[in-house]
């Protein structure tokens, strides 16, 4: 059994309005020491199967469901967990 930790983020070239709003709000609150803000999505899935099969399944799931590959990139790690 494997736990997949999946991060989905906008590509750097894509405007991220949520991140912009957070940074502007912080600036307005006087917190001008914040150099950059990045907002993403995080998924944790627990999957049964062997590592190769799970890896292939997660890659497909990311590119076809969880991420919009036109605008977003994804990365993930797999770690074995006890049942």
11 near its own copies, judged by CB under 8 A: no
Cβ atoms of 75 and 5 closer than 8 Å: no
41 near its own copies, judged by CB under 8 A: yes
Q: What is the rounded distance in angstroms from the CA atom of residue 28 to the CA atom of residue 42?
A: 28
Residues 6+ apart with CB under 8 A from 36: 23
How many residues in the chain? 83
Q: Give the number of residues in contact with its own copies, rule: CB under 8 A.
A: 28
Instruction: Give the nearer residue to its own copies in terms of CB position, either 35 or 80.
Output: 35
78 near its own copies, judged by CB under 8 A: no
Q: Which residues bind to its own copies, rule: CB under 8 A?
A: 1, 7, 9, 22, 25-26, 31, 33-49, 57, 61, 65-66
């Amino acid at each position: 059994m494997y736990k997949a930790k999946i991060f989905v983020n906008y590509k750097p070239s894509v405007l991220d309005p949520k991140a912009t709003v957070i940074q502007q709000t912080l600036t307005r609150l006087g917190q001008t020491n914040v150099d950059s803000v990045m907002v993403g999505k995080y998924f944790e899935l627990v999957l049964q199967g062997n590592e190769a099969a799970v890896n292939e399944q997660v890659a497909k799931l990311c590119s076809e469901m969880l991420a919009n590959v036109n605008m977003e990139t994804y990365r993930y790690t797999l770690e074995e967990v006890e049942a």
